Amino acid sequence: MKKIVRISVTTLSLLFGFSLVTGAIAYGISSSENVVYYDAGMTSIVEHSKTAYETNENGQTFGSGKDVIYPEDLPDLISVVGDSGKKGYICSSELIGDAPSSLEEAVKIHEANNSGVYTPKVYNVYESDGKTIIDTFTETHIETLE
Amino acid sequence: MECKIVFSSLKSVLCGALIGAVCFVSPISANAGSVSNGASSAMSAYGHNYTAYNTSITGKLNNSKFARAYTNINAGENLPGGYMGVKPMLYYSDGSLWVAGDWDYSSSNSSGMGVGVSRSGFSGTPSIYSQGYARIWMGTGYWTYGTFIAPTLNDYTV
């Protein structure tokens, strides 16, 4: 009888300990999956970045675009490592670029990307003054999965 | 006798906890440093719902190290061409942009797309993360926004 009680208590205790740890880890993992929603009016829930960037003598902000969600929160000059390995900055507005003006234009871009005729964009890499060119930064050919 | 049972139970609880921790952490550790996904962001626009997220991958292929970034967007329904666009980017962990791809847009009757950029043949084992930008059609133009960061990786062993 004592043996049965001991085995039962041991089994239940093992299960309790197992559940305690796996449950806690599973909760931690599921809690870290943030899903952020926006309403139909595009009122954002994510706050705008409050990063205080450095400013050069020409009034341009410069720094990393790390963790920035809204393009308007990017610094004017975003830090890059150029084609020859030099650290510098490219214009964030050039990097993000203008959006197509129509759906037709977007589809043409898609067709051009997938035609095998790809001309990568090349950006000037500047010192933090936004004027002195020290390198280039070349975009890389993309691979699209649909 | 009661003390013995309580002590034995505590030992069992600890053993169970240890087994649970090992069972759960082992597969995570095995994959750590090779693939990471950023949190998803969900948007509603022009009567459609979109989810976008970024993926970072590092590894070794044919004995050559590679790093890759994917920016993904899904609508969950087939949409006309051009409704979605993404631009993937790969960063060094210090925040400097390392690799950027161009924008690509969805083709006709597409429900989602993933666009990737890769870099290989580099020296060292750089710590990298990825973040991209997405565009969704708003009826008269596009709205552009960034995905959340897919966490830093630096494991190139597999």
**pLDDT tens-digit profile, chain B (158 residues):** 454 544 455 555 444 444 444 444 333 333 444 899 998 888 888 889 999 999 999 999 888 999 999 999 999 999 999 999 999 999 999 999 999 999 999 999 999 999 999 999 999 999 999 999 999 999 999 999 999 999 999 999 88
Q: How far is A114 from chain B, CA to nearest CA, in Å?
A: 9
The ipTM estimated for the assembled molecules is: 0.77
Give the model's confidence band at A29: pLDDT under 50 very low, under 70 low, under 90 confident, else very high: very low
Which pLDDT value is given to residue B29?
A: 37
pLDDT recorded at residue A138 = 97
Q: Using an 8 Å Cβ cutoff, are A140 and B99 in contact?
A: yes
Q: Is A135 helix (H, G, I), strand (E, B) or coil?
A: strand
Contact at CB, B106 and A36, closer than 8 angstroms = no
Q: Which of A53, A77, A71 is nearest to A128 (CA)?
A: A77
Residues in chain B closer than 8 A to A39 (CB atoms)? 44
Chain B residue with Cα closest to A82 = B98
Q: What residues does B118 pair with on adjacent strands?
A: B68
Instruction: Round to whole Å and give the CA distance between A84 and A102.
Output: 36
Question: Does residue A124 register a pLDDT over 90?
Answer: yes
Asked if B36 contacts B55 with a C-beta cutoff of 8 angstroms, the reply is: yes
pLDDT tier at A13 (50, 70, 90 boundaries)?
low
Kindly identify which residue of chain A lies nearest to residue B45, measuring between CA atoms.
A40
What is the mean pLDDT of the segment spanning A33-38? 51
CA separation for the pair B107, A110 (Å, rounded): 7
Nearest CA in chain A to B111: A146
Mean pLDDT of A60-81: 93
In a mutational test of the B interface, the residue from A20, A21, A73 whose CB has the highest number of chain B CBs within 10 Å is A21
Q: Is the CB of residue A48 less than 8 Å away from at least one CB of chain B?
A: no
Of A51-60, A127-136, B13-22, B60-69, the poorest mean pLDDT is in B13-22
- Looking at residue B21, what is its pLDDT? 43
Would the CA dihedral through A81, A86, A88, A90 be positive or negative?
Answer: negative
Give the H or E element holding residue A104. Answer: helix A103-113
Per-residue model confidence (pLDDT) at position A46: 74
Sign of the four-CA dihedral B40, B45, B49, B50? negative
A32 confidence band (pLDDT: 50, 70, 90): very low
- Give the per-residue pLDDT at A107: 96
Please report the pLDDT score of residue A26 as a whole number.
44
pLDDT score of A5 more than 80: no
Give me the numbers of helices (H) and strands (E) for chain A, helices first please.
3, 8
Instruction: Select from A6, A9, A107 the Cβ nearest to the Cβ of B81.
Output: A107
pTM of this structure: 0.76
Confidence at residue A83, expressed as pLDDT on a 0 to 100 scale: 97
Q: Which residues of B are less than 8 Å from A91 in CB distance?
A: none
Lowest mean pLDDT among A91-95, A127-131, B137-141: B137-141
pLDDT at B158: 82
Alpha-carbon gap: A69 to the closest alpha carbon of chain B (Å): 4
User: Does the distance separating the beta carbons of B91 and A144 come in below 8 Å?
Assistant: no
Tell me which residue in B97, B98, B104 faces A113 most closely, judged by beta carbons: B104
Instruction: Determine contact, residues A134/A141, Cβ cutoff 8 Å.
Output: no
